[in-house]
């Protein structure tokens, strides 16, 4: 049989409908000679990455199909004789899913019910409503628009089970809720009630009956209906407000609540008392760290009322069980309490408040406590300049804690010092108004850290944070060798000895020997005793530099270089 162009014999439908989440298989089988090659593509899009090709690419398999996978798919069969293609439309549908549902609701009769349910799906869902299993339609007080249900002026007959149904041609979902319409005559649970107001302040008489539907409220005094005016105002929540209350306002007030199911009355007894006065003493006090102080809070109030006190520190209630080591609550009289603050620390400085409260009013007053103490740590220490023996430092002032800073102390630390050591300064002393000074008499070629400590009349504060590490610069020896002498030795040997000056305290050199090249000499060093012996063998016309490599010390890795000796002949 000769060659012929491809022909697609079996293919997927021109319209494929699939539910979201399933696996879709699109088939495309073709005949041809030579055997055609099958390719797939999605028109105006990309084939999903999770798709797989099976059976020599004749089957396109898309697992877990999603809404974005919808579109037109094309399979194409090609061989050297030609090609052909087929296109089909893949549609992904979804069942309705709730976005918003309805919930059980309890209402007073006469109120308006507003419910909404909402779902998403493809194709879009339609909505319908059921009450007690029967279809509900827009009629009279009932309005339905898609997923919204409104019932105006609900009645007892509107009670029942409601369902919102969202559906498309592939399925339906239900949201259920119960509507309860309350119906009861007005009831007051506490009757009578006593209201205590403060003279010159506003008084509020509440009227909150339990009733359904909502009752109509009226107020009376001495059997006369109260007419609202500038001083007596009826608020929206049926509370009676009396502005700038006085003794003349004392008496019985009656609130009457009435609906179609019945009525009830509440009696409110209004008492007007003198305003309470509170004195907190001392109002401002200064103490030193470690001392103790007592703050006294005294309330002057109507003796028929009980008073309760509460202490505060910086607007927060003091919890005496947690900080009993420093705070103590002392009840001296029925209308006076004390706060004792023991062993005061810097953190105890601030505002101390006393609140006195009766059933009529509440008064809050504060006192200020200043705590004198050692200065706080200075700010960041900066090394401005470094030389072989000096370091210029600067810093910022810390808190003086209510006592002026008198002096600053500069301290240094190196890898070979015993902790922090005070260093000499220029100027000396460093007074409290300064923020810069020079540390002097440092060792050359040493890594140092610096910090600053402030002092005042109370004491010495905490040190600043350490500066960055810096190294002093190199320096030449400052003391010449002494007691140079020669002699001893065997034939062809010359022994020369001398003493070196005192080494820095940080030196920890050990005995070293260094052999130079042949026909030269040996040298031996004993730095612990401060002596150096030089043994010379044979004669030479020029000497080489002899170097001593010390152990790393506070002056760093160093070498000493000895002078050259020329035209030396060996002794006889």
Q: Which of 350, 341, 351, 402 is nearest to 376 (CA)?
A: 402
Using CA atoms in the order 511, 516, 519, 521, what is the torsion angle rounded to 10 degrees?
Answer: -30
For residue range 294-348, list pLDDT tens digits in order: 999 999 998 888 999 999 999 999 998 877 689 999 998 889 999 999 999 999 9
The pLDDT value recorded for residue 477 is 74
Q: How far apart are CA 382 and CA 369, in angstroms?
A: 35
Confidence tier at 75 by pLDDT (50, 70, 90):
very high
Confidence tier at 502 by pLDDT (50, 70, 90):
low
**Residue 510 clears pLDDT 50, i.e. is over it:** no
Q: Residue 302 to residues 67, 291, 433: CA-CA distances in angstroms?
A: 76, 37, 56
Task: Provide mean pLDDT across the span 207-214.
Answer: 88
The encoded tokens of residue 440 equal 């002097």
Dihedral sign for Cα 157, 162, 167, 170, please: negative
Query: Considering the entire predicted model, what is its pTM?
Result: 0.53
The pLDDT value recorded for residue 501 is 60
Apex 375 CA angle, 370 and 377, nearest 5 = 130
Q: Residue 143 to residues 106, 129, 162, 572: CA-CA distances in angstroms?
A: 19, 11, 14, 136
Q: How far apart are CA 450 and CA 410, in angstroms?
A: 7
Q: Is 568 helix (H, G, I), strand (E, B) or coil?
A: strand
| Other Cβ atoms closer than 10 A to 194 | 11
For the chain, the average pLDDT equals 85
Q: Is 465 helix (H, G, I), strand (E, B) or coil?
A: coil
The pLDDT value recorded for residue 1 is 60
Task: Provide mean pLDDT across the span 384-409.
Answer: 94
In 303-417 the beta strands, taken as DSSP E runs, fall at 308-313, 316-317, 327-333, 336-341, 350-357, 362-372, 382-386, 391-394, 405-413
**Residue 528 clears pLDDT 60, i.e. is over it:** no
**Residue 556 clears pLDDT 70, i.e. is over it:** no
The encoded tokens of residue 136 equal 């509900």
For residue range 416-463, list pLDDT tens digits in order: 899 999 999 999 999 999 999 999 999 999 999 999 999 999 999 999
Q: How far apart are CA 371 and CA 380, in angstroms?
A: 25
Give the least confident one: 8-17, 179-188, 350-359, 539-548. 539-548
Contact status, residue 542 vs residue 564, Cβ threshold 8 Å: yes
Half-sphere exposure of 163 (CA within 13 A, CB side): 12
For residue range 133-161, list pLDDT tens digits in order: 999 999 999 999 989 999 999 988 899 99
Task: Provide mean pLDDT across the span 81-97.
Answer: 91
Q: How far apart are CA 439 and CA 111, in angstroms?
A: 85
Q: How far apart are CA 97 and CA 483, in angstroms?
A: 105
Using CA atoms in the order 266, 267, 273, 275, what is the torsion angle rounded to 10 degrees?
Answer: 10
Contact status, residue 41 vs residue 64, Cβ threshold 8 Å: no
Confidence tier at 126 by pLDDT (50, 70, 90):
very high
Q: Residue 108 to residues 123, 356, 406: CA-CA distances in angstroms?
A: 39, 42, 76
Beta bridge partners, 187, equal: 210
Dihedral sign for Cα 283, 285, 289, 295, please: negative
In 282-335 the beta strands, taken as DSSP E runs, fall at 284-288, 293-300, 308-313, 316-317, 327-333
Q: How far apart are CA 409 and CA 428, in angstroms?
A: 10
The pLDDT value recorded for residue 71 is 92
Specify the length of the chain in residues.
572
In 342-381 the beta strands, taken as DSSP E runs, fall at 350-357, 362-372
Confidence tier at 523 by pLDDT (50, 70, 90):
very low
Contact status, residue 149 vs residue 162, Cβ threshold 8 Å: yes
Q: How far apart are CA 153 and CA 245, in angstroms?
A: 40
For residue range 39-57, list pLDDT tens digits in order: 999 998 899 999 999 888 9
Taking only Cα atoms into account, the Rg of the chain, rounded to an integer number of angstroms, comes to 50
Question: DSSP states of 251-304 as a string?
Answer: EEEEEEEEETTEEEEEEEEEEEEPPPEEEEE-SEEEEETT--EEEEEEEE--TT
The pLDDT value recorded for residue 191 is 87
Task: Provide mean pLDDT across the span 233-240.
Answer: 93
Numbers of helices and strands, H then E, in the chain = 0, 54
Backbone angles phi, psi at 249, to 5 degrees: -85, -5
What is the biggest distance separating any 2 CA atoms in the chain, rounded to whole angstroms?
146
Question: DSSP states of 488-543 as a string?
Answer: ---TTEEEEEEE--PPPTT-----EEEE-STTSEEEEEETTTTEEEEEEES-EEEP
Distance, CA of 556 to chain centre = 46
Percent residues over pLDDT 70 in the chain: 87
For residue range 252-309, list pLDDT tens digits in order: 999 999 998 899 999 999 999 999 999 999 999 999 999 999 999 999 998 888 999 9
**Residue 503 clears pLDDT 70, i.e. is over it:** no
| Other Cβ atoms closer than 10 A to 161 | 13
Contact status, residue 121 vs residue 166, Cβ threshold 8 Å: yes
Pairing relationship of beta strands 24-33 and 405-413 according to DSSP bridges: unpaired
Helices (H), 393-532: none
Q: Is 65 helix (H, G, I), strand (E, B) or coil?
A: coil
Q: What stretch of H or E contains 25?
A: strand 24-33
Q: How far apart are CA 440 and CA 445, in angstroms?
A: 14
Place of tokens 């007074």: 431
């Amino acid at each position: 049989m000769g060659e012929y162009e491809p022909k697609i014999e079996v293919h997927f439908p021109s319209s494929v409908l699939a539910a979201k989440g399933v696996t879709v298989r699109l088939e495309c089988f073709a005949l041809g000679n030579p055997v055609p090659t099958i390719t797939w593509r999605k028109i105006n899009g990309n084939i999903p990455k999770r798709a797989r090709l099976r059976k020599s690419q004749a089957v396109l398999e898309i697992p877990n199909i999603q809404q974005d996978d919808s579109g037109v798919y094309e399979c194409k069969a090609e061989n050297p004789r030609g090609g052909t293609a087929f296109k089909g439309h893949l549609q992904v549908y979804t069942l309705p899913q709730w976005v918003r549902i309805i919930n059980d609701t309890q209402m007073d009769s006469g109120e308006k019910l507003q419910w909404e349910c909402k779902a998403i799906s493809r194709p879009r869902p339609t909505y319908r409503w059921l009450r007690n299993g029967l279809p509900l339609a827009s009629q009279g007080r009932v309005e339905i628009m898609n997923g919204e249900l409104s019932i105006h002026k609900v009645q007892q007959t509107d009670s029942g089970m409601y369902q919102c149904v969202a559906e498309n041609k592939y399925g339906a979902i239900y949201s259920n809720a119960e509507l309860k319409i309350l119906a009861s005559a007005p009831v007051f649970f506490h009757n009578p009630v006593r209201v205590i107001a403060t003279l010159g302040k506003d008084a509020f008489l509440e009227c909150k009956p339990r009733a359904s539907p909502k009752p109509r409220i009226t107020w009376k005094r001495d059997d006369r209906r109260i007419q609202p005016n500038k001083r007596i105002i009826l608020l929206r929540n049926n509370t009676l407000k009396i502005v700038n209350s006085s003794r003349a306002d004392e008496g019985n007030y009656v609130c009457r609540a009435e609906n179609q199911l019945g009525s009830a009355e509440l009696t409110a007894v209004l008492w007007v008392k003198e305003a309470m006065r509170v004195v907190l003493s001392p109002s401002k006090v200064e103490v030193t760290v470690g001392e103790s102080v007592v703050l006294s809070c005294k309330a002057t109030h109507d003796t028929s009322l009980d008073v309760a006190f509460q202490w505060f520190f910086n607007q927060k209630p003091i919890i005496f069980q947690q900080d009993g080591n420093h705070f103590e609550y002392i009840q001296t009289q029925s209308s006076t309490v004390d706060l004792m603050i023991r062993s005061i620390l810097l953190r105890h400085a601030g505002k101390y408040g006393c609140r006195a409260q009766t059933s009529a009013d509440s008064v809050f007053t504060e006192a200020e406590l200043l705590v004198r103490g050692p200065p706080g740590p200075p700010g960041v220490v900066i090394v401005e300049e470094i030389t072989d023996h000096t370091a210029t430092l600067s810093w910022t002032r810390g808190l003086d804690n209510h006592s002026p800073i008198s002096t600053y102390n500069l301290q240094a630390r190196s890898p070979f010092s015993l902790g922090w050591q005070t260093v000499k300064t220029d100027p000396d002393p460093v007074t409290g108004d300064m923020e810069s000074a020079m540390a002097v008499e440092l060792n050359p070629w040493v890594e140092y850290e610096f910090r600053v400590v402030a002092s005042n009349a109370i004491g010495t504060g905490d040190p600043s944070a350490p500066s960055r590490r810096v190294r002093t610069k190199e320096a030449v020896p400052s003391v010449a060798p002494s007691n140079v002498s020669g002699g001893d030795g065997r034939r062809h040997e010359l022994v020369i000895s001398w003493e070196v000056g005192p080494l820095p305290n940080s030196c920890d050199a050990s005995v070293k020997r260094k052999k130079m090249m042949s026909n030269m000499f040996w040298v031996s060093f004993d730095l612990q005793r401060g002596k150096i012996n030089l043994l010379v063998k044979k004669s030479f016309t020029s000497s080489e530099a002899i170097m001593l490599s010390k152990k790393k010390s506070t002056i760093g890795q160093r070498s000493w270089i000895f002078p050259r000796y020329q035209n030396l002949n060996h002794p006889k």
